Amino acid sequence: MISATNHGTRANRVAEMRMAAARSGPRLLLPLLALMLLFAPASVAQQTARAKAIGQKLLCMCSCKQGLIACNHVGCTTSRAMLKEIDERVARGDSDDLILQSFVQEYGPTVLAEPPAKGFNWMAWVIPILAPLLALYIVWEMVRRWRRRAGLAPAGGPSVPAELLDRARHESQQESDE
């Protein structure tokens, strides 16, 4: 049986233990919080390089039209949800093409950062190369034709008889000799 004095000392010991725990709690809590903050971004961010590579092939659908990885809207829930879905599918072992196709089915072909090089979309790849080359060719031809025309154009003005030209040369020669 517990006596009153033992009960008081036991209560004192329990109270002392609680106070000691309360005093050391912040000391233990601070390193624990630091560890949680250190690893918290890793749990939110994409887990693998493969998931990042897939994310770079997609656009964020929050109307910013930036790359999914580069969406800079503060608190963008769309990019966060899309990145989370990519992470889950990569963890499940889905192929890259399957993941991309599922996003195309959900959001349409505008979700792709690069249009596929087939059908009408191949022009998005060809025109940036052909347009400057075609413009350069047109400028080249115009300059070539202008030069050809300049060489064939006759001198303008009234015709001067040869006798007058000889007389003018003779007079200028006499003036320069004096």
Q: What is the pLDDT of residue 39?
A: 55
Between CA 71 and CA 58 the distance in angstroms is 11
Whether 68 contacts 55, CB under 8 Å: yes
| Residue 45, pLDDT score | 47
Q: Distance between CA 12 and CA 48 in Å, rounded?
A: 54
pLDDT in tens, 13-22: 767 777 766 6
Report how far residue 6's alpha carbon sits from residue 109's, in angstroms, rounded to the nearest whole number: 78
3-state secondary structure of 58: strand
pLDDT digits (tens, 9 = 90+) for 87-106: 999 999 899 999 999 999 99
Total H helices, total E strands in the chain: 6, 0
Helix axes 77-92, 49-56, angle to 10 degrees: 130
Do 109 and 73 contact (CB within 8 A), yes or no? no
Binned average pLDDT, 10 residues per bin, the chain of 178 residues: 55 72 61 59 58 89 84 83 90 91 90 80 85 96 86 68 90 86
Calpha distance 170→44 (Å, rounded): 98
